[in-house]
Amino acid sequence: MNPKHRILICDDDPLLIELMSFRLKAKGFEVITAIDGEEALSKVASERPSLVVLDAMMPRLDGFEVLSRMKSDAGVSHIPVIMLTARKGEKDIVSALERGADDYLVKPFIPEELLARLSKLLARQAPRRQ
């Protein structure tokens, strides 16, 4: 895996952002963060991350709307998205997947599972970048 992959973490919980950032940086990833949906969309457009970890419940613009806008924008629709949220309901999971999420994890989560899912999605993207 290319250790220079840039990961955008979008969550309104500063502690969770810090934890995920620490784990990802320790694995060699570059990390950028956003604390609300509008900032997330702005950073997706300006930073062009390799992958987005997106919380469903954020201020200003929820994660489902961010996901919908990303997947309808041809310039960034190819960027994989992992929804990471406390929402456990089947309806929310199905909605995220139908809107284009590549994966979905429910909080609390095992950090190693997030890393494994993230690595798998990035490995799938590698042939497209060549």
Residue ranges per domain, the chain?
6-125
Find out whether 105 and 113 touch, Cβ atoms under 8 Å: yes
Q: Is the pLDDT reported for residue 125 higher than 90?
A: no
Neighbours of 53 (CB within 10 A): 27
Task: Read off the pLDDT of residues 18-54 as tens digits, 9 standing for 90 and up.
Answer: 999 999 999 999 999 999 999 999 999 999 999 999 9
Instruction: Give me the CATH topology for the region 6-125.
Output: Rossmann fold (3.40.50)
Q: Where is average pLDDT lowest: 9-13, 15-19, 107-111?
A: 107-111
